[in-house]
Amino acid sequence: MKYELPELPYANDALEPAISARTIEFHYGKHEKAYIDNLNRLIKGTEFEDMELEDIIAKADGALFNNASQAWNHIFYFFTFAPDGASEPKGELRKAIDRDFGGFDNFKQAFVDAGVGLFGSGWVWLSHDEQGKLFITQGKNAENPIRDGLTPILTFDVWEHAYYLDYQNRRADALNQLWNIVDWEVVESRYK
């Protein structure tokens, strides 16, 4: 199987000012494309060649894991956003957020704090277990909650290339701006 860079469902400038067109061009157009190209090169002729990306993430190590997970993480990240985001979750997800974090504002603060508190590069995740309990976790480098048996439903990228062109070293500002473009319908669909 050959993996391809999926076309984003919005124009490169559609998420401004939260994420600039220039950041999309570099982050998605170059960084993500490189992960997918490397993934295709690394799986060719191996037992992983016809596996789904989630299965590669669960079983691979080293460079193959890093490129497979980063390819998956970035697609998951970029397809969470919409130019007309900024609504709040509803339904079962909202009930779970209120139950597990004491309210939506508490959740957002804890999520941003986890992202800011991650030393170096990586991801902050909102995931759930088989019972629907929500967890905020940090993932260094390419780490993904799939390997821990959790189902990811939201992530913010805290690698510097995700925000440096727009925010320089102001990671908290960058993460807080992402709330304005989260498409909660997408996130809720991942929770069901």
Helices then strands, each counted (H, E), the chain? 9, 3
What proportion of the chain, given as a percentage, has pLDDT over 70? 99
What confidence score (pLDDT) does residue 18 get?
96
Nearest to 80 by CA among 125, 17, 139: 125
Length of the chain: 192
Say which residue, 85 or 189, is predicted with more confidence.
189
pLDDT in tens, 144-188: 999 999 999 999 999 988 888 889 999 999 999 999 999 999 999
How far apart CA 19 and CA 38 sit, in angstroms, is 25
DSSP 101-123: HSSHHHHHHHHHHHHHHS-SSEE
Could you give the domains of the chain?
Answer: 21-78 (1.10.287.990), 91-191 (3.55.40.20)
What confidence score (pLDDT) does residue 192 get?
78
Other beta carbons within 10 Å of 17: 10
How far apart CA 179 and CA 30 sit, in angstroms, is 24
Q: Locate tokens 């925010």: which residue?
A: 167
How far apart CA 76 and CA 73 sit, in angstroms, is 5
- Global pTM? 0.93
Any residues with CB less than 8 A from the CB of 97 and at least 6 apart, and which? 89, 103, 104, 107, 134
H/E stretch holding 151: strand 151-157
Any residues with CB less than 8 A from the CB of 78 and at least 6 apart, and which? 8, 28, 32
SS3 of residue 190 by DSSP: helix
Q: For residues 4-21, give the mean pLDDT.
A: 96
Q: For residues 24-30, give the mean pLDDT.
A: 94
The confidence band for 86, taking pLDDT boundaries of 50, 70 and 90, is: low
3-state secondary structure 42-65: HHCCCCCCCCCHHHHHHHCCHHHH
